Amino acid sequence: MITDPPRAEGFELRALSEADAPDLLALFSDPEVCAFMDIEPLLAEAEALDIIDWAEAQAAQGLGVRWGVRRAGEGRLIGTVGYNRIERGRGRWGEIAYDLARDQWGRGVMSAILPAVIARGFEDWGLIRLEA
């Protein structure tokens, strides 16, 4: 199933839910976190809920998936990772994307997580190309 998160030692990945809205707002209200994203920094929790709704719709349609990232045993959402778009038909490609709270930069988070996320695309879904 597309929403089943990969395993990454030391981290918990799970689908975003409404309960993540406050942490997602904190993450995406940081202009430096959003600097290279296609969104402006968030100003309100309703905007975070819109992103969660988008992620849930993408997953329900099999078009993409976004998982919240937490350090194992900790509750705070420190980032998100996933595929903004998955094309399993012609071309079999995926657009991988991630973001991370500034206080987690340079701490090896994505170095630990991305190999599992990439493997999910190539090995489990049969993708042959990734874009970032």
Instruction: Return per-residue pLDDT of the chain as tens, 132 residues.
Output: 677 899 999 999 999 999 999 999 999 999 999 999 989 999 999 999 999 999 999 999 999 999 999 999 998 999 999 999 999 888 899 999 999 999 999 999 999 999 999 999 999 999 999 998
- Report helix, strand or coil for 100: strand
pTM over 0.75: yes
Give dist(CA 90, CA 19) in Å, integer: 36
Residue 66: count other Cβ atoms within 10 Å of its Cβ. 23
Q: Has residue 5 been placed in a domain?
A: no
Domain that holds residue 99: 11-131
What total number of domains does the chain contain?
Answer: 1
According to the model, what pLDDT value does residue 2 have?
Answer: 78
Query: Could you tell me if residue 53 is inside a domain?
Result: yes
Written as six digits, the tokens of 65 are: 């998936």
pLDDT at residue 1, rounded to an integer:
65
* Residue-level pLDDT at 3: 79
| Residues listed for the chain | 132
Query: Is there a domain that residue 4 lies in?
Result: no
Residue 94 sits in a domain whose CATH number is 3.40.630.30
